[in-house]
Amino acid sequence: MKILFVAPRYHTNQTYIVKTLREKGHNVYFFVSRIGKTEDHSIIRPKIIKVNFLSFIIMKLFGSGPNNKNYFPNFYLYWKEIKVLKPDIIIIRNHGKIFTYMTALYGLIINSKIIFYEQVNTKYLKNRKNILVDILRKIKFYLPLMTFKAAWMTPLLDKEEKYLPKKCFYVPFAVPVKNKKNKINEPVKFLMVAKYQYLKRHGLLLKALNNLKDKYKFQLTFIGEIDDRNHQIASENFEVRKNVEEEVINLGLNDRIDFIDNLEFKKMPDVYQKHDIFILPTCNDNAAISVLEANGQGLPVICSDMSGTDVYIKENYNGFVFPTDNLDILCEKIEIFLKNPLLIYEISQNAINYAQENFSSETYYYNFKELLKNQFNIRL
């Protein structure tokens, strides 16, 4: 079966999804508007959709660029590519109205099955405080589904989620799952994987570790991305990276903190294996795939309740969730492991079991098949 993904970029959270589909015998294609700094293209090389002069003028009139919601590709050439490829299924990241719905229209013309992919939990459709907002959100949600005879797919709905629209399907991320940890580092090694952005709250983690440094020994590795090809993104990346480094020095944590920038994605499994506990104190993420990758590698996770993927973390089973920006509770969660490092072994095994059941390649493919069967009567 021919499956086409259309998205702003080939995000790392799609790597093992593409790998899974290809291993199952499907032909997979990926169209993007830009290439990310740390992407792994060993499985698939995404095709960049270029912008023509007319599209550029239109973008300027709308005050937007290729990565924004009013992104205009060369619609005619784009149509020719879609028509020649003629995919059976088009999975569209709902990142922009014009681009998204033009892709869906092309798919409808050539009789492709359309799936809108969105990382936002559909709970946002409910707004009890404002009935009008509630109605408008539902119209925005359902109208494209009816117009393009499409399904809606999200990796963030819990299995027990009661509010599940008939056309919205839970299809989890896919991450590699390894064996449990056989050895804990001494001192314990913490890991944080996140872009250098203010919302990731690197500073909050440093404050927590500073509060604990006199009582315990530990090490922390920051792994981040600095994308110097986009001025706006690079400006924040460099600024946050500089601020974090200065904070490390000011707090006297120099000998306990390591930095690794722009690490190739294919090297990440080895990095996870060399650490003991994963921490992500982010403030406002849609879906942090690193939380699941860490669990899949047997690392207990400590994350905020706004990481997007915190719904996968079961308290005191495969990790801990703390209220966003709550320094005291973050310290408490970290100290649980520093007081009793042997607990890492138990939670590591739980993490492996939970990952295998809930976001392994096989779980992804099973749920994806269920979507196709229930929505389009397609049986893989």
DSSP 3-state assignment of 12?
Answer: helix
Residue 250 sits in the same domain as residue 294: yes
The separation between the first and the last C-alpha atoms of the chain, rounded to the nearest angstrom, is 9
Q: Is residue 181 one of the residues assigned to a domain?
A: no
β partners of residue 257 = 220
Residue 124 sits in the same domain as residue 153: yes
Range of 288's domain?
188-358
Nearest CA to 51 out of 88, 18, 13, 96 is that of: 96
Residue 163 sits in the same domain as residue 210: no
DSSP 3-state assignment of 190?
Answer: strand
The CATH number of whichever domain residue 271 belongs to comes to: 3.40.50.2000
Q: Could you please report the per-residue DSSP string of 232-281?
A: HHHHHHHHHHHHHHHHHHHTT-GGGEEEEES--GGGHHHHHHT-SEEEE-
In percent, how much of the chain has pLDDT > 70?
Answer: 84
Residue 218 sits in the same domain as residue 91: no
Residue identified by tokens 């320094």 is: 327
Q: Is residue 180 one of the residues assigned to a domain?
A: no
Tell which wins on pLDDT, 51 or 216.
216
Residue 157 sits in the same domain as residue 11: yes
Residue 112 sits in the same domain as residue 238: no
pLDDT of 370 higher than 70: yes
β partners of residue 92 = 6, 116
Token digits of residue 270: 């080895």
Q: Pick the range with the lowest mean pLDDT from 122-136, 200-214, 305-319, 343-357.
A: 122-136
Residue 140 sits in the same domain as residue 201: no
Residue 38 sits in the same domain as residue 141: yes
Look up residue 20 and give its amino acid.
T
Q: What is the number of domains present in the chain?
A: 2
Do the beta carbons of residue 321 and residue 281 sit within 8 Å? Answer: no
pLDDT tens per residue, range 285-339: 878 889 999 999 999 999 998 888 888 999 999 999 999 999 999 999 999 999 9
Tell which wins on pLDDT, 180 or 280.
280
State how far the Cα of 363 lies from the Cα of 173, in Å rounded to an integer: 9
As a whole number, the mean pLDDT across the chain is 85
How big is the CA angle at 152 (ends 149 and 156), to the nearest 5 degrees? 175
Q: Is residue 183 one of the residues assigned to a domain?
A: no
The CATH number of whichever domain residue 372 belongs to comes to: 3.40.50
Instruction: Compute CA 85 distance to the chain's CA centroid, rounded to the nearest angstrom.
Output: 27
Please tell me what DSSP assigns to residue 120: S
Residue 74 sits in the same domain as residue 221: no
